[in-house]
Amino acid sequence: MEYRFEPMDVDSAREILSWTYRGPYTLYNVRPGDDDDPIGSFLTPESPYFALRDEAATLVGYCCFGVEATVPGHGYEYGDDALDVGVGMRPDLTGKGQGTVVAQQVFAFARDRYRPARLRVTVASFNARARSLVEKLGFVDVGGFVRDEDGTEFVVYLREATTEF
């Protein structure tokens, strides 16, 4: 399946903000108070968000780049030696084998659009599916940290952007 990448718009941002993840994945839910303007944060030109749509134009996920793809609230220094990439899938699509194709297309999109030398992703340490996926795609664990506000552990992965996914 080939996904389309579209600049984030208000309607797509509202739909994403309504998504509800269950169990430990509630970490990915945006809650009131997380941001003064959660819709506006999806529309920030400095770190663009993109909606991912399938052939039927249905919103299936999103991606973001730069500072929006990092995790605040700790002492980890991301540095500027790689492009940070964030990916989210609609909750009812997770765990159904689509993650690899989505991730491959997001990383290829990032490589083609921004031309970074390296890509970096940050994954919650409990998210075994996401960790396995990025490792399968050639990302290497380069460290981690614990977020101060809630004690959640994260793992940071890095890989060269010049090779195929």
* DSSP-derived secondary structure letter, 137: T
* DSSP-derived secondary structure letter, 113: H
pTM value is: 0.93
Question: DSSP 3-state assignment of 67?
Answer: helix
Question: DSSP 3-state assignment of 109?
Answer: helix
Q: Where are the beta strands (DSSP E) in the chain?
A: 4-7, 49-53, 59-65, 83-89, 118-124, 140-146, 153-160
pLDDT at residue 52, rounded to an integer: 97
Instruction: Enumerate residue ranges in the chain where pLDDT < 70.
Output: 31-36, 47
pLDDT at residue 114, rounded to an integer: 95
Dihedral of alpha carbons 48, 52, 58, 60, sign: negative
Distance CA 118, CA 9 (A): 28
Q: Using alpha carbons, select from 76, 88, 86 the residue that is nearest to residue 142.
A: 76
In degrees, rounded to 5, the angle at the alpha carbon of residue 101 between the alpha carbons of residues 119 and 120 is 10
Instruction: Give the model confidence (pLDDT) of 80-113 as tens digits.
Output: 999 999 999 999 999 899 999 999 999 999 999 9
pLDDT at residue 35, rounded to an integer: 58
CATH topology for the 4-160 domain: Aminopeptidase (3.40.630)
pLDDT at residue 155, rounded to an integer: 97
Q: Which residue has the tokens 């989505």?
A: 102
pLDDT at residue 108, rounded to an integer: 96
The letter for the amino acid at 15 is E
